[in-house]
Each structure stands twice: as structure tokens, then as C-alpha cells.
Amino acid sequence: MEFGLSEEQEQIRDEVRRFAENEIVPNAEKYDTEEKFPHEIVDKAAEMGLVGSSIPIEYGGAGYSTLESAIIAEELFSHDPGIALSIMACSFGTEAIREFGTEDQKERFLEPVATGEKISGAAISEPDTGSDVSSVSTRAEKDGDEWVINGNKMWITNGTVGDFFVVFCKTDPDADGRYDGFSQIIVESDRDGVSSDKITGKLGIRASDTAELIFDNVRVPEENLVGDRDAAFLQQMHFFDATRTGVAAQGLGIAKGALEAALDYAEDREQFGQSISEFQAIQHKLSEMATETEAARNLTYKAAWNVDQGNDITKLASMAKEYASRVAVEVSNEAVQIHGGAGYVNDFPVERFYRDSKITQIYEGTTEIQKNVIARELLDD
């Protein structure tokens, strides 16, 4: 059993770390405070192949594997989760186009994202619909050779900066099955009837753009339908192994960043005539934080590796997502505690890690949903 990374994967990690140290760290507090999307940093990330990193080479991407994308996410999120999400989320929604789209759709929408010319998004959640995806009310009706879309989407990443969105909507309201009658349709943001309202005041990941999207009689050509009509729900389930593993990598990165910051501070801070790292209470905190982070890394990497092998890992992906997100919250909490009062203000990055960590327990399926999935898979074995 081989646990080590390849030389190429280690090089990817080193390059991403240098990029993060030079471009992200000096600007992290600014973009967090201003709740501003970091366009300049995203453009530089695109030049390095970090935007749409898993988009195939033939469509302008780097063609990285799930494991390599997890390594990138871990490293970026260990420096600043808000800017990291802004970079990695530029390709949200393209996985559906990559897997189910036509060749024309791939050429029109994948290549511009991979090169940084365009930003994509996935529009699924609604004001009244979160975990229960089958309850979405956004409608798409056929009118000649066009789709007419009406509805609202909520908590949409890249909502005010995106150039197009893959919109999950109801196309057959009379479908018999609870999970039938849904389709995914590409909607360009500059079409008549599309508007957005930026959401501010978020607890964390403030550099990442989040918005409500409104579709008011938006017309798009029928060729913007992604995959088969009325089959979108099963299409979405197809990606959960990879996307939940991706969020696990985000949580792992946050834990890694918080641990490293706590280690540095504990060694520098002196009380009672000695470094606080010499106190057993602090040593025990650090040892537990390091152990939990390493356990999250192994679970996340195992899940990512299995996705690359084409294995069905529904249970493992939910385990990785649930555990790594929990570790992110717990480790960042302890990092703030080690900093004491200094950890409660933005002079140090741990307060940002702490705020940013919580979202990993919410998006891409809440902690409670992950536990339901794990239990279901266990009982069905």
C-alpha cells in the first residue's frame, strides 16, 4: 500500500504553496474585510492552471486528477479559504458540461473558464430549498426552440461575477417520480431577465461572491440543455463523490492552516518566563490538532484516490466530508484558544480560519445529510 505522493504531485503542492504565500497571504485580510471578489488574484491563478484544474487538457484545462485537485485545495485553503474558494469555484457547474454536455457546449463553455476568460456557476439552491433538492420550484418551459425560465436561486457562488450558470430547474411538473422531471440548462448572465443581488454580511469566506439570482422570463436556446431532458437529478448525484471529497479537502486545508498558525504563535508567545509551547496544556492541544488533521488528510486522500479509480464511494466521500469539516471547525477553534485574545481580532489569521471553517459543514450537503448518507449505506450493506 503506497501512501506517498508522486514527485509531480509534490511539485504541484510546492508551486501552489509559493503562489499562495506570494499572492494570497498579503491580500487575504483586505478581500475579507471588503467582501470583494479577488479578480486580479484569480487571473494569476488561471495563468498557473489553478482555475478549472480538472478540466481536460483538450479544453484548455490542466487535466488534474481528483487527488491532485484535492492537494491544490488543501494548500490554497490553508492560506486563505475565501480567496481559495474564489479560485476553485470559478469552474462550478462545468462538471455537468464536462460529463453530459455536447461537444459544442464543451468548446463554448469549458475553454473560456479554463483560461480565466469566463467564470461559471451552479444554480441549485433556492430561498425555500436547501438540502431537499427535489423541491426546487424554478421552472423551465419549452416555447418553440427556446426554454423560458422563471424562478429564484439562493446562495449562489459567483452570483454577481459569473458569466454563465448551469441552472437546475423543473421541466416536467407532472412527472410521476419525486426525482423525475428536472433538467440542467446553461443560462448566460447577460441574457434579458437575469438579475442578481449580492449577499453581504457572511460569517466567513467573504472574498467569495455569493448572491441571489432571479430569472424573469429568461429565454435561452434549446441547445443550452445539458444532457438528457428530465434527468438532471440523477446527473447531480453522479458528482457527489467528487464534490464532497473536494469540500473535505477544503476542511483539511483550513485545519492545516490553523494548526500551522497555532504552532508558530505557541513557539513565539511567552508567558511566565517561557514559551507557551512548553506548557503541557498547549502541547496536548497541538498534538490533538495535528492528529485530527492527519486523520482527515488520510480519509480525504483515500476518497480522492478512489474517485480517480472510478469506484463507487458514496459512503467514503460522506465520511471524508463530514469528518474533515468537523476537524476544520475543531482545530480552528483550538487555534483561536491558543492565541487567546490575539486570536479574537484580525491581527492573526486564526479568527478568519475559525469563521471560514463553518461553511464546510453546510454546503455540498450539511453534516446531518452526510450522517444520513453514511447510515443508509451502512444499513444497506
Point out the residues that are catalytic.
Answer: 364
| Residue in this structure with the C-alpha cell 483539511, named with its chain if needed | 252
174 DSSP assignment: T
Backbone phi and psi for residue 270, each to the nearest 5 degrees, phi listed first = -115, 140
Q: How buried is residue 308: exposed, middle or buried, by Cβ count under 10 Å (0-12/13-18/19+)?
A: middle
Distance CA 98, CA 104 (A): 11
Return the amino acid letter for 305.
Answer: W
Distances (CA, A) of 55 to 110, 111, 113, 114, 329: 7, 8, 9, 7, 30
Distance CA 236, CA 242 (A): 11
CA angle 164–24–56, rounded 5-degree value: 45
Distance CA 331, CA 316 (A): 22
Write out the H or E segment, with its range, that includes residue 169.
Answer: strand 164-170
